[in-house]
Amino acid sequence: MQGRAIPSVVRGAGVGVAGLVLVLASACTGQDSGGSGPQNAGGESPDPVDVRISPQDGAAEVEPNLPVTVESGEGPITDVSVEQSRGASGAGAATAEPTPSASAQSEVGAVTGTLSEDETTWVSDWNLIPGSDVTVTATVETGDGESAEVVSEFSTLPPVEGKRLELQSNFPVSGQTVGVGMPVIVNFDLPVQNKTQVENSMEVTSEQPAEGAWNWFGDKTAVFRPEEYWQPNQHITVDLRLAGVEASEGVYGIENHQLNFDVGRAQISTIDSDTKRMTVERDGAQIKDFPTSIGKADIRKYTTTSGTHLTMEKYEELVMDSSTVGVPVDSPEGYKLDVEYAVRFSNSGEFTHAAPWNDRLGESNESHGCPNLATADAKWFYENSYMGDPLVVTGTDRQLEVDNGWGYWQRSWDEWLANSPTGEPDTTDGEGTPGSVHGTEGS
């Protein structure tokens, strides 16, 4: 599992690493490292210190997705730290908007490490920023109970134009409050082939831990969803440690990002085609019951999709144009209407909206697929909907597709997990992701 911090220990000459963030290391052994090896008082060099660090000190254009290891033949490793600075052609760490605090930026940019049980081997959890100069300091306890420090430096492969994986967009964005069904959606600008490594570079942490997993829709979109809806009224953090991950051959992520959003109250709405009613439950109690009229279903195109939808976006005023769903405006079934209080819940043209012209609400299904509501009811739903609120439609013979809008809850948990390249659930407890983010040399 990625992202576990080094155990809290205090060793040797007062070197404490309780709560330590371990970051990348590179050096050779003792005096042969080419770095600043340990020195005795008076400038005399001590005996060589048996500390082996890979990649080697002085290396240039190191592949940023290679694991960094520290091995001590002396005694326990008590501290490993790394400073990464942008090289002449490198890319630095960044965070998604709005910019979080400096501490949050530091946290997502840090590369933690996992220490072996005998405390003599340390392996990095995360990758390096491409085009960065890296300074590493490793401290170990020697056999005489003293501490020895080895310093080493190297640089990573700079990013190449056209092969820089970047975050194109994400939902939600930092600062939003969303519904309990809201997934984390990450859209990349380039195709991703090494999906397992990229999945393992993206860590979702919630105040109330849950099991979740990533699925991919095409090669550019990754979606994280918990097994069940999120518990309401909690904070979610997403660390996208994309810097250095090899998305495809020779294509590396160049920046890290952090997303911060909140899950609000639990609001779940249901539309029943048979009863022609829309009910709204909040935190387990029904609070609204609206008459509605959904798709007339004489053809598939005019049939409202059944299944678990999520509210996606909303408009106080919207022009609804039949030509956007393949029906010319000047055809017998064509239309171009100005509607109020529209809330989208699929990509196939489905919105709840006000329909003051429809006098059959609660009596018959008359629309071209959108749930029609009275103006006051549509306004209430518009004003009280968060992005990611579940909206369940029942009773029609057209099922919502998993990739129609945000139909991700149409997959059972077993199906969702089976479609994750890692094949393992990821617990959102902040303890790391299921597997390695690293590649192998020359991969």
Q: Which positions are annotated as active-site residues? A: 353, 370
CB 70 within 8 A of CB 138: yes
C-alpha separations of 125 from 52, 258, 354, 391 in Å:
18, 17, 52, 39
Say if residue 376 is exposed, middle or buried (CB neighbours under 10 Å; 0-12, 13-18, 19+). Answer: exposed
Output the furthest CA–CA distance in the chain (Å, rounded).
Answer: 96
CB-based contacts of 177, cutoff 8 Å, min separation 6: 261, 262, 263, 264, 386
Q: Who contacts 73 (Cβ-Cβ below 8 Å, separation ≥6)?
A: 50, 51, 52, 120
Question: CB atoms < 10 A from the CB of 316, how many?
Answer: 10
| CA 319/CA 313 separation, integer angstroms | 14
DSSP state, residue 131: T
Cα(290)–Cα(380) distance, rounded to whole angstroms? 10
Spatial distance between the Cα atoms of 210 and 227, rounded to a whole number of angstroms: 7
| Cβ neighbourhood burial of 47 (10 Å; 0-12, 13-18, 19+) | exposed
Tell how far CA 241 is from the center of its chain.
9
Q: Name the 3-class secondary structure at 295.
A: strand
CA dist 121 and 93 (Å) reads 27
Alpha-carbon distance 406 to 224, whole Å? Answer: 12
Half-sphere exposure of 88 (CA within 13 A, CB side): 1
Q: What is the DSSP string of 188-220?
A: ESS--S-HHHHHHTEEEEESS--EEEEEESSSS
Nearest to 416 by CA among 431, 400, 397, 402: 402
Q: Are strands 351-354 and 336-344 parallel, antiparallel or unpaired?
A: antiparallel
> Do residues 262 and 340 lie in contact, with contact meaning Cβ atoms separated by under 8 Å?
no
Q: Omega into 38 within 30° of 0, i.e. cis?
A: no
